[in-house]
A and B are shown apart, each in its own frame.
Chain A
Amino acid sequence: MSIPRLLAVVRKELCHITRDARLLFLVTVAPAFLLVTLSYVFALDVGRVNVAVRDLDRTSLSRDFTASLGADDDFAVVAYVQRDAEVEPLLVRGVADVVLIIPHGFADAALGGQRTEMQCIVDGSDSITAGQTIGLLQQRVSDFVTDLLGQRSVDVSVGLQVSDRAWYNETLKSLISMVPGMLAVIMCMPALALTLALAREKETGSFEGLIATSVRGAEYLVGKLVAYVIGGMVSLVLAWLVATQWFRVPFRGGFLDFLLLAAAYLFASMGVSLLVANFVRNQQTAMFLILMVFFIPSFFIAGLITPVSSAPIARAVASALPTTHFIAISRGVFLKGLGVVALWRQASVLVATGAVSLAGSLVLLEKKIS
């Protein structure tokens, strides 16, 4: 392999990328753009919950409770229900997410030390939000009761204290964990561009022209890879800026570590797309294949939203996807402040994937040329 020839190929590829506006967009700006839109799509935070209250008790205590619900931004009391028949339409119309029913004698029972029951009816059509809403409401009720009993110096302790901390993302905000994960998913766009470019070279016939030059197969492939990894690094920095400046996600790790690990990921994903490109004839198929192989599975099995499944087949597919490892890396560097040393497992898998698929596509290419 000769270095000057390799550099010539790299220069040619970089020229291609910068000259074609569509390709330049795909390689550099598209990931940052997608990061902004898709992060909102998957931000599963509960916004403000709209509550309708049916107060059968009408005491100062029940009013206190209602007021305590609306005290901050989690809940907003949107309606006071007078008749039972009004409950259902409120939920069907989506005016209220929850209807809270405070029973007769609520104050008497709560103050007299008897047990009483409050009822809440939740709109379950959005299951994730509904689950979180129920948890939030239970928290509010138990806070209110503890306050109430504390004022009357009644000990409600169960004889045990639990302190819980959410590490790495103290407020448990979904966006904070979704943005670094999504950054990993969208970084497959430069790989998509590489496959498209290879397929186009075949379509337009300029591949034949390249073979006729003195460039060897290895130089051709490595040169392409290097050029697109460089383009990918540019888009990575843009996406990183979006994550830290627009979304204000904390970046606790080292920037150099992040760049190094990202280069390993780009190497792996570009390697796989070189391999895929060997089997496609036109750009349409290339696009379709990359979307099916990289993009769609990345959302559902790579651990972006739910953790990687423990079922053997799903687990095997997930560990074969470079995105799975880069999601762990991205969250590790952003939120946990880990470096290359702590993430060596993921990094070595990525480097190995890249090396194996590069070797594989080299063999296939040599066969095709000869």
Chain B
Amino acid sequence: MLLRIWNLVLKEFVQFVRDWLMTTFILTLPILQLILLAQATSSRISDLCVAVLDFDRSGDSRRLVAALDNRRELNVCHFPETLEDSHYLLDQGDATLAVVIPTGFAADLADASTEPHVQLAADASNSLPGSIALQAANGAIIEFAAERAATRGATAISPVDLRTTVRFNPELNARLFSMPAQVGFIVYQVTLTITSIGLARERELGTLEQLLVMPLRRVELVVGKAIPALIIGSVNFVCLLAVTVFVFEVPLRGSLALLFALTLVFIVAEIGYGIFISSIARTQQQAILLVFVLAMLDMTFSGYMVRVKNLPLALQVIAQVVPFSHYLEIIRGVMLKGAGLDVLWPHAAAMAAIGVLVIVVAVRSLGRSLD
């Protein structure tokens, strides 16, 4: 039996070597995709355009403008003359934030009995830059005022100081969150595509008939098809992980052996999905379309961009039966938090259970569609 499986695996590899164009694609495209995405997600939001409407035109108001401009997030680039002009800039999206400094700003600031009133209006039609601009401007203005107050000898500082320590990712680098997920997603895509298309192609070309008349049992056929996918998936994983850790310097704080072992479990579960798809799909095109739809759904339910606990409750429940969501907890846990099996066992167990279930269903469904 082992010999027969071995021969089938050998045949698959001969095919991969012959179709060298596709094989190079499978091995190099994922790395390119990973690098592109890493570049795209690393850019922090900075230099948002600010329009300042300075009715005061005093030394103090200019110092306030400079304080705003000095923020990394902000860049003062428009000086409209009227409120309508600043409104227009926000409407057109030419400015993310409008600041209105009232007349008598400097005089009111110098007089302890009056408080000048600075107005901020942000274009929140895109909420992320909008809220970042508001936070940065608020910070700059309060700092400016506190400094002014300090020079007058007043203590205007809050008695409670909040000191924050950020664990696992002190610089709040977005890459550390997105890259492990990307590695998982690419491995997922590659394994699923290879398994589901492999059988669909044999069917389309009619070579499946030949395989069926050979002295191979169904299980041997499935295992023989699964092993090459497992090997290619693992090779891909190792390459991508190396790029992530060595090129993009995402830490790997936990055990590499544990991560690799759990990745194998994940790949096996995905191979189960692949076999299931190939038992339904009649042509390669149908297989591709099904993989595409499945990938879209998994992106939604896996916590790929937004963590599962921030999803609506109904979606959180669905997420529990998606192996990818458990794998994301595992790869992020091991890489960023150095988590071990004592912490991750519920996710590992869930993933393995789903995997076994899917494979049983898939093999049965394939057996039916072959006979």
Contact = CB atoms under 8 A, between A and B. Distances in A.
Interface residues of B, number: 87
Interface string A1-42: 000000000000000000000100000000000100110111
B293 to A, nearest CB: 9
Interface string A48-68: 100000000000000000000
Interface stretch (A210-218, A262-270, A331-339, A347-355): A331-339
B127 A173 contact: yes
Interface string B256-272: 00000000000000000
Interface centre among B92, B117, B120, B158 (most CB of A within 10 A): B158
Nearest to B178: A127
Given A164-B134, A309-B43, A126 B307 contact: yes
Contacts of B90: 167
Task: Pick from A129, A142, A157, A160 the residue with the most CB of B within 10 Å.
Answer: A160
B338 A92 contact: yes
A286 to B, nearest CB: 12
Nearest to A327: B126
B262 to A, nearest CB: 16
A177 B160 contact: no
Contacts of A92: 333, 337-339, 343
Contacts of A167: 90, 121-125
B110 to A, nearest CB: 9
A306 interface: yes
B160 A141 contact: yes
Nearest to B111: A159
B158 to A, nearest CB: 5
A37 B91 contact: no
B159 A172 contact: no
Nearest to B150: A158
Contacts of B307: 126, 129
B343 A127 contact: no
B92 A342 contact: yes
A235 B159 CA distance: 57
B161 A336 contact: no
Given A157-B156, A158-B149, A124 B125 contact: no
Contacts of A162: 117-120, 138, 141-142
B277 interface: no
B119 A163 contact: yes
B109 A159 contact: yes
A137 interface: yes
B208 to A, nearest CB: 20
Which of B48, B127, B176 has the most chain A CB atoms closer than 10 A to its own CB? B127
Interface residues of A, number: 93
A81 interface: no
B159 A109 contact: yes
A158 B125 contact: no
Contacts of A45: 310
B216 interface: no
B306 A44 contact: yes
A289 interface: no
Contact of B167 (A91, A118, A301, A306): A91
Interface string A315-346: 00000000000001001101110100010010
A306 B128 contact: yes
A161 B165 contact: no
A82 interface: no
Contacts of A110: 159-160
A156 B156 contact: yes
B129 A164 contact: no
A260 interface: no
A82 B323 CA distance: 35
B77 to A, nearest CB: 10
A209 interface: no
A114 B176 CA distance: 39
B172 A130 contact: yes
A122 interface: yes
A158 B167 contact: no
Q: Which of B92, B126, B164, B337 has the most CB of A within 10 A?
A: B126
Nearest to B154: A159
A257 to B, nearest CB: 14
Contacts of A117: 160-163
B326 interface: no
Interface stretch (B238-246, B294-302, B362-370): B294-302
B163 A40 contact: no
B122 A130 contact: no
Contact of B306 (A41, A131, A141): A41
B148 interface: yes
The interface centre, meaning the residue of A38, A92, A331 with most chain B CB atoms within 10 A of its CB, is A92
Interface string A205-238: 0000000000000000000000000000000000
B315 interface: yes
A41 B296 CA distance: 10
Nearest to A140: B162
B23 interface: no
B124 A124 contact: no
A123 B177 CA distance: 11
Contacts of A109: 159
B305 interface: yes
Contacts of A142: 158
A336 B159 contact: no
A27 B142 CA distance: 52
A40 B315 contact: yes
B79 interface: no
A120 B161 CA distance: 11
Nearest to A175: B127
A351 to B, nearest CB: 18
Contacts of B131: 132, 166, 172
Contact of A116 (B120, B121, B160, B329): B160
Given A119-B162, A159-B149, 5 more contacts: A115-B157, A117-B162, A168-B123, A169-B127, A303-B126
15 contacts: A37-B296, A40-B315, A42-B305, A92-B338, A94-B333, A161-B117, A161-B118, A163-B120, A165-B121, A166-B131, A167-B121, A170-B124, A306-B43, A307-B48, A334-B125
Interface of A: 22, 34, 37-38, 40-48, 89, 91-94, 106, 109-110, 113-132, 134-135, 137-138, 141-142, 144-145, 149, 156-170, 172-174, 176-178, 180-181, 283-284, 287, 300-301, 303, 305-307, 309-310, 328, 331-332, 334-336, 338, 342, 345
Those 9 A-B pairs whose CB atoms lie nearest each other, nearest first: A124-B169, A166-B124, A47-B310, A169-B124, A124-B166, A164-B120, A160-B145, A300-B40, A158-B145
